[in-house]
Amino acid sequence: MSEQPLVTVIIASYNHAPYVEAAIESVLAQSYPAVELLVVDDGSSDDSVERIQALQRKHGFDFRVQANQGLARTLNDCIARARGSLIAPFGSDDVMLPERLAKQVAYLQDKPEVGICAGNIAQIDGDGLPLERRDRVRPFRRLDFEDVFCSDKAGAPAPTLLFRREALEQVGCFDPSIRLEDLLVELKITRAGYFIDVLPDVLAQYRVHGTNTYKNRRFMIETVLATYARFDDHPAYPAVCARFLNSMLLKCARDDKPLARELLRRIPLRRWNAKTLRALGRLAFA
């Protein structure tokens, strides 16, 4: 084990009592032996703490309870006391597949240019059952800053992110002022010169349930735009924002028409595209 890099897995739990035990157990079941598990309950109001404490008494991982600080601050606090050279923030409602960390650590050997290693995901429902949808297993891809900022390639799924600690620390870790932390830190790390390599393997199960963050569309839109605004010196910044707004417009035109009309007003006429026209059709005839 002394020759294997230590991976610190950080689980910040917030009101995920029905799911957090499965998340923790999936980390404990990793085939990779050199794992440090840090679990923090970030002010849950359900019975998450009692469930985690029962597992902690059995397995002896580091568990702390705190008043709510938000995910980014909690992650930064954990990174500061982590011993691992590789850091894996992991959602308290998701599930790691057993070979996930072993595959990623093996891949990262002798690739110092890779700041983040990721992989594909499968989707499960609240009961842990596979969702009958078209989960596309995408091929290997290497992402640089342009790829992430301009969405030129499929992104890196959040439940599979494994960071080099040095890359995180070089960019100041996570930014508490941006509540969707993954996109911003990926942009900062790739702008610093690192790559994100996404393996073709399915490494984790992403749980779809009623409180997924992406379902709060207004929050998603404003947070992603605030993230892009950090890079408003980039020549593609106006086009990147317009493309994102057009994508969200098309989604909202189906089931949130008031928000869709707000988004339409924010898109300059010269930035209209096929998605804009499809959204107008939905608004007019649906």
Residues 227 and 175 in one domain: no
Which of 162, 179, 207 terminates a domain? The answer is 207
Mean pLDDT of the residues in the chain: 93
pLDDT in tens, 26-64: 999 999 999 999 999 999 999 999 999 999 999 999 999
Residues 218 and 153 in one domain: no
Residues 118 and 233 in one domain: no
Q: What is the pLDDT of residue 80?
A: 97
Span 118-142, average pLDDT: 84
Burial class (CB in 10 A: 0-12, 13-18, 19+), 225: middle
- Of 149-158, 161-170, 277-286, the one with minimum mean pLDDT is 277-286
Which of 184, 207, 230 terminates a domain? The answer is 207
Span 172-186, average pLDDT: 93
Structural domain contains residue 1: no
Q: What is the pLDDT of residue 133?
A: 64
Residue 131 above 80 pLDDT?
yes
Residues 222 and 200 in one domain: no
Residues 202 and 255 in one domain: no
Span 248-254, average pLDDT: 93
User: 61-66 — which CB contacts under 8 Å span 24+ positions?
Assistant: 61/24, 61/28, 61/37, 62/36, 62/37, 62/38, 63/39, 64/38, 64/39, 64/40, 65/40, 65/41, 66/40, 66/41, 66/42
Distance, in Å, from the CA atom of 179 to the CA atom of 215, rounded to the nearest integer, reads 14
Residues 190 and 229 in one domain: no
Residues 121 and 250 in one domain: no
Residues 138 and 163 in one domain: yes
- pTM of this structure: 0.93
Q: What is the pLDDT of residue 152?
A: 85
Residues 78 and 113 in one domain: yes
Q: What is the pLDDT of residue 113?
A: 98
Which of 159, 191, 207 terminates a domain? The answer is 207
Domain that holds residue 234: 213-285
Q: What is the pLDDT of residue 1?
A: 45
pLDDT in tens, 189-248: 999 999 999 999 999 999 987 666 656 889 999 999 999 999 999 999 999 999 999 999
Residues 191 and 50 in one domain: yes
Q: Which residue has the higher pLDDT, 124 or 86?
A: 86
pLDDT in tens, 64-117: 999 999 999 999 999 999 999 999 999 999 999 999 999 999 999 999 999 999
Check: CB of residue 116 under 8 Å from CB of residue 167: yes
Check: CB of residue 121 under 8 Å from CB of residue 204: yes
